[in-house]
Amino acid sequence: MSKNIVLGVTGGIAAYKACDIVSKLVKKDIKVDVIMTKNATNFVHPLTFQTLSSNVVNVDMFSDIKYWEVNHISLAKKADILLIAPATANIIAKITHGIADDMLSTVALATKAKMIIAPAMNTNMYDNPATKENIAILKSRGVIFIEPDTGLLACKDVGRGKLASVDNILKVVDYELHKSDELKGKKILITAGATIEDIDPVRYITNKSSGKMGYAIAKTAAQMGAEVTLISGSTHLEVPYNLSNYVCVRSAQDMYEEVQKYWKTSDVVIKAAAVADYTPREKFDNKMKKHDGDLSIPLKRTIDILKSMGEEKTSQILVGFAAETQNVEEYAKNKIIKKNLDMIVANDVSMAGAGFGTDTNIVQIFFKDFSSVKVDKLSKEELARTILRLIKEKIMDKR
């Protein structure tokens, strides 16, 4: 079912960034209704938001008297989230003290939806005791604040008060839209990304893993209420919102050492990282110079992190991944036995839509008894939710 967001835009130079917020929400098939304060219209014309959202923009409560009687209430009721970005000190004060003298403050008073506020103002205004107190009061009522960034402000001052990045705002909105208690109280450890095995200061051995699958699982597990620790190898991805712990590592040995700190106190361990099987026997301190002829670099096995956990596990649910190019089912079942897994997610990375770096995946999920579930092409975020629900329904709930 489509979600509805009411976006409040107040009068500040950062109002133009709200256009990007609307555009990106609409691309996610989220319905957006925009409410502008009169001062906001001095920075961005309402027609801009109307074009981006495909909805009439609300500014004046009395601009169309035949609609006003229900409009502020209908907007308050239809919202899954009321997002105010940018939010001035003025609107924060109004909401705190129950003042309803324009469309936005009236909807804020009438709605029962989750409210998210992203402040943007001069540093002195943000740090003023009155603003600080108002924010503290609203937080105590359950309002979520997205802290402003620090940088050069429109007034040429440098300090805290810049509107948080659009991506950060959307990350919080996405989390709140999909939040549930399905995994509340569970501790989940997830590894993701590729490890890097250094040869010298310039060269290294790695693999094609983007980390997208592991990050999608971490993001979704947090949305489902779990306490999530993500141990990440090399990626270019943004850190998911609301993780309990986030650790960056480089090599297979680094990942092993960090996993040892967390896995024994976890309820579920999902090893989605692509860890190198081999590492150079010797790392050169200086760059190796090119010479005529071939070059051989002796390699040694890295520690098998998944196998070591399988040998020591007690009550932990252990989930592995198998990225293969042939004999996928055979290798997956063999891995379940050898590594004492409760579940494995296997895929043929040579298939279109299932390889490294893609936003989709096609998998077959095997359980300890070799029963399996085939999952046709899904986005990695959709697949992440499927994987986590299967862990809960097929393993957790049967214990």
**Which residues are annotated as catalytic?**
155
C-alpha radius of gyration, the chain, whole number: 25
Tell me which residue of 60, 58, 117 sits closest to 89, measured CA to CA.
117
| DSSP bridge partners of 9 | 36
What's the rounded Cα separation, in Å, for the pair 64 and 61? 8
What's the rounded Cα separation, in Å, for the pair 146 and 158? 19
Half-sphere exposure at residue 135, Cβ-oriented, CA atoms within 13 angstroms:
21
Q: Is 351 exposed, middle or buried (0-12, 13-18, 19+ CB in 10 A)?
A: middle
Residue type, 37: T
